[in-house]
Amino acid sequence: MAREPLKVLTESMFYVLLSLLRQERCGTEIVQYVDDATAGRVPLGPGTLYTILAKFQEEGLIREAAVEGRKRTYAITDRGRALFRQELSRLRLCVGDGEREERASERLLLRRREEEAP
């Protein structure tokens, strides 16, 4: 059975691609970027990172830009940038839906409180 290409990214996957948008980075630089960008909210251990990097290489989302001994530096591809933009758009829609529903529920709650007031 053929595997389906990535359509939705996990939070860790999103931040790995984000880390490569402006510059090539090695694994430790990616981990540091994600830790800094999320203030530690998104933990990225070596097992998770290298699983993601292998998957992204397989999918053509990133490529190895340089290899120096055991140090490998990665770069995002055009396909990776396209998937990042697609995911960013999807997340913006999710946030918009959530904010719209939250405002509607707050209005409803306010109306109910006003109706219950003596």
- What count of other Cβ atoms lies within 10 Å of the Cβ of residue 65? 15
Neighbours of 62 (CB within 10 A): 23
| Euclidean distance between CA atoms 57 and 13, whole angstroms | 12
The answer to whether residue 2 scores a pLDDT higher than 70 is no
Which region among 12-16, 49-53, 89-93, 113-117 has the lowest average model confidence (pLDDT)? 113-117
The predicted pLDDT at position 7 comes to: 79
- Write down the pLDDT at residue 3: 57
Half-sphere exposure of 8 (CA within 13 A, CB side): 4
Element (H, E) at 66: strand 62-68
> What pLDDT does residue 6 have?
77
User: How many Å apart are CA 94 and CA 78, to the nearest integer?
Assistant: 24
Which pTM does this prediction carry? 0.86
**Predicted confidence (pLDDT) per residue in 60-76, tens digit:** 999 999 999 999 999 99
